[in-house]
Amino acid sequence: MTSYHRALASAGVLAASATLAFGASPAGASASALPYGPGPQSHYTVQKQPAPGTCHYRHDQAQPLPDSRCTPGALNPKVTTQTLKTTICNPHGYTSKIRPPASVTGREKVANAASYGYNTDKASLHDAEYDHLVSLQLGGDPNDPRNLWVEPPSPGHQPGAGPNNDKDKVETRLHTAICSGRVGLAATQKAIASNWVTAEHRLGLK
**Cβ 174 vs Cβ 138: under 8 Å:** yes
**Residue boundaries of the structural domains of the chain:** 3-40+61-202
Higher-confidence residue of 89 and 161: namely 89
DSSP H or E run through 22? helix 15-22
153: left (phi over 0), alpha (psi -120 to 50) or beta: beta
Q: Tell me: the pLDDT tens digits for 25-40?
A: 444 444 447 999 999 9
Q: Summarize pLDDT for 11-65 with one digit per residue, the tens.
A: 333 333 333 233 334 444 444 479 999 999 999 999 999 999 999 999 999 999 9
Q: Is the dihedral of CA 146, 41, 189, 155 positive or negative?
A: negative
What is Dmax (Cα atoms) for the chain? 46
Give 134-154 pLDDT, tens digit per residue. Answer: 999 999 999 999 999 999 998
